Amino acid sequence: MALGRARRGESGMNYWPGFVDALSTLILGIIFLLTVFVVVQYYLQQEVAGKDTALERLKAQIAQLTNMLSLEKTNKADAEDQLARLRATLAATESERDQYKARAESAGADQVAAQDKIAALSSELAGEKKISANALAQVEVLNQQIAALRRQLTALEQALDASEKKNQESATRITELGQRLNLALAERVRELSRYRSDFFGKLREILGNRPDVRIVGDRFVLESEVFFDTNKADIKPEGRAELDKVADALLGLEKQIPPDIGWVLRVDGHTDARPITGGPFKSNWELSAARAISVVQYLIGKGVSPKRLVAAGFGEFQPIDTGTTEEAYRRNRRIELKLTER
């Protein structure tokens, strides 16, 4: 009967090669998408980093110009105050001069003294006018400097706005590329899920409806007693016969799935919660890992690519039955096969 099942499995394998070409193209496409996304993301990140640095420099320059503008405004205010004081002094001097002129006209005896006083006041008035002219010139220069600073500040603000807009556009492009990549990856995951279903269906057909073999979610679960003796990691002859069927199914799967889909068959070893007593293994960790490695090595020996296999040991820490009966312990001692993305 086993020979008959093996022959039926061999004849069933003829349905799979038709998918090879299409799936190969699919895998090459996702690798190309991933490569383009990584390269584009790298250059966009470099561009965004450079724009951030330039943005910081512009902000610092704007702050410096703002401080200079405030200082120039303060200087202008001081100059204007000084000009106002000079004008007030000039007005007072002119008023005093006019008073002395009036006195000189009314008092002939004091005319000479008054004329001297008038001359002195006129000289002082000319000096005040000169100082006032200098102050006006200084205010004009300050006004020109303030206008130039304002123009420079406006140009920097425009450059800052342009830089921020470009940064936003770069971030939007990165987001769009990420969304496109996520859609492509989701499509690949759906493809892999379909192959997983086909693979598990093939395994169920090959191994038959055995009570010690079952599918739980996305895993194919086989009880350890099928392959190993107690506290041992050497595969029993009857276990090798079952693994031969698994290897045949995997070899067919390798031909069907396109090479651009990253997938592996993960072999997980599990034990029950009882401590190990005697034997070469000191813990359930070591025993579960050794059993998973034995299965992987056997499949490699049957021609399965090592790149498509992963061995993992979970010890007693992932039970599927939390009971303490012998039946629960037997269910927890298991080997799980999971077809997953790499």
* Residue 172: CATH number of its domain: 1.10.287.1700
Terminal Cα-to-Cα distance of the chain (whole angstroms): 37
Tens digits of per-residue pLDDT, 282-303?
Answer: 999 999 999 999 999 999 999 9
2: pLDDT confidence band, cut at 50, 70 and 90? Answer: very low
- Distance in angstroms (rounded) separating the CA atoms of residues 135 and 140: 9
Decide if pLDDT at 54 tops 90.
no
226 in the same domain as 126:
no
Mean pLDDT of 140-156: 81
Written as one letter, the residue type at 1 is M
Decide if pLDDT at 309 tops 80.
yes
- Distance in angstroms (rounded) separating the CA atoms of residues 52 and 58: 10
Query: Could you give the 3-state DSSP secondary structure of residue 303?
Result: coil
- Distance in angstroms (rounded) separating the CA atoms of residues 46 and 316: 47
Tens digits of per-residue pLDDT, 234-251?
Answer: 999 999 998 998 899 889
Q: Residue 315's domain is classified under what CATH number? A: 3.30.1330.60
Q: Is pLDDT larger for residue 290 or for residue 54?
A: 290
Range of the domain at 281: 209-341
User: Which of 131-135, 192-196, 317-321 is predicted least confidently?
Assistant: 192-196
32 occurs within a structural domain: no
Number of structural domains found in the chain: 2
CA distances from 276 to 267, 273, 285, 320 (A): 22, 9, 10, 19
User: Which of 61-65, 104-108, 277-281 shows the highest mean pLDDT?
Assistant: 277-281
Tens digits of per-residue pLDDT, 191-237?
Answer: 556 666 666 666 666 555 666 667 777 788 989 998 999 999 999 99
pLDDT at 232: 94
275 occurs within a structural domain: yes
Query: Could you give the 3-state DSSP secondary structure of residue 1?
Result: coil
Mean pLDDT of 71-95: 79
- Distance in angstroms (rounded) separating the CA atoms of residues 121 and 100: 9
180 in the same domain as 107:
yes
223 in the same domain as 161:
no
145 in the same domain as 215:
no
Kindly give, in sequence order, each residue whose CB lies less than 8 Å from that of residue 51, ignoring residues fewer than 6 positions away. 163, 166, 167, 170
146 in the same domain as 214:
no
Q: Is pLDDT larger for residue 282 or for residue 109?
A: 282
4: pLDDT confidence band, cut at 50, 70 and 90? Answer: very low
Kindly give, in sequence order, each residue whose CB lies less than 8 Å from that of residue 324, ignoring residues fewer than 6 positions away. none
- Distance in angstroms (rounded) separating the CA atoms of residues 277 and 299: 29
- Distance in angstroms (rounded) separating the CA atoms of residues 234 and 16: 33
Please identify, among 152, 185, 218, the residue that sits at the C-terminal boundary of a domain.
185
43 in the same domain as 164:
yes
pLDDT at 302: 96
136 in the same domain as 261:
no
Q: What is the DSSP string of 3-25?
A: HHHHHHHHHHGGGSGGGHHHHHH
Decide if pLDDT at 3 tops 60.
no
Q: The whole model's pTM is what?
A: 0.47
172 in the same domain as 65:
yes
Decide if pLDDT at 9 tops 50.
no
220 occurs within a structural domain: yes
151 occurs within a structural domain: yes
Percent of the chain with pLDDT over 70: 79
Mean pLDDT of the chain: 79
18 occurs within a structural domain: no
User: Which of 178-187, 230-239, 307-316 is predicted least confidently?
Assistant: 178-187
Beta strands of the chain (E only): which ranges? 213-216, 219-223, 263-270, 309-313, 334-341
